[in-house]
Structure 1
Amino acid sequence: MGASGDLLAHGRAILAEQPFSVLLGAELTALTPQRAELQLPLRQPLRQQHGFAHGGVVSYLADNALTYAGGAAMAAPVVTSEYKINYVRPALGERLIARAECVSRGRQQAVVRCDVFAVQDGEEKLCAVAQGTIARMGEAG
Structure 2
Amino acid sequence: MQTDLETRIRDSFARQGLMTTLGATVVSVGPGTVEIRVPVTAAASQQQGYAHGAVAFAIGDSAAGYAAVTVLAPGDDVVTSDMTIHYLAPGTGEALIARGQVVKPGRRMLVTQADVYAVTEGAERHIARLTGTMVRIPAPNSR
**Fold equivalence (TM over 0.5):** yes
C-alpha RMSD over aligned residues: 1.7
CA distance in structure 1 between the partners assigned to 2:101 and 2:61 by the alignment: 12
Q: CA deviation at 1:139?
A: 7.7
Which structure 2 residues correspond to residues 1-141 of structure 1 after superposition, within 5 A? 1=1, 5-75=3-73, 76-137=76-137
Q: Kindly indicate whether the alpha-carbon contact (under 8 Å) linking 2:65 and 2:78 is maintained by their aligned counterparts in 1.
A: yes
CA distance in structure 1 between the partners assigned to 2:14 and 2:43 by the alignment: 20
Write out the 4+ residue segments of structure 1 that deviate beyond 2 Å after TM superposition.
Answer: 138-141
Q: CA deviation at 1:43?
A: 1.2
Matched residues, percent identical?
Answer: 37
AA of the residue aligned to 2:65:
T
Q: CA deviation at 1:21?
A: 1.1
Show structure 2 runs of 5+ residues with no match: none
Deviates more, 1:127-136 or 1:24-33: 24-33
CA distance in structure 2 between the partners assigned to 1:138 and 1:16 by the alignment: 20
CA distance in structure 2 between the partners assigned to 1:57 and 1:127 by the alignment: 12
CA distance in structure 2 between the partners assigned to 1:112 and 1:105 by the alignment: 8
AA of the residue aligned to 1:87:
Y
CA distance in structure 1 between the partners assigned to 2:133 and 2:47 by the alignment: 32
Count of matched residue pairs: 139
Q: CA deviation at 1:138?
A: 5.0
CA distance in structure 2 between the partners assigned to 1:54 and 1:61 by the alignment: 12
Structure 2 SS opposite 1:28 = strand
Q: Kindly indicate whether the alpha-carbon contact (under 8 Å) linking 2:77 and 2:139 is maintained by their aligned counterparts in 1.
A: no
Q: CA deviation at 1:119?
A: 0.1
Q: CA deviation at 1:74?
A: 2.4
TM-score (norm 2): 0.91
CA distance in structure 2 between the partners assigned to 1:136 and 1:51 by the alignment: 37
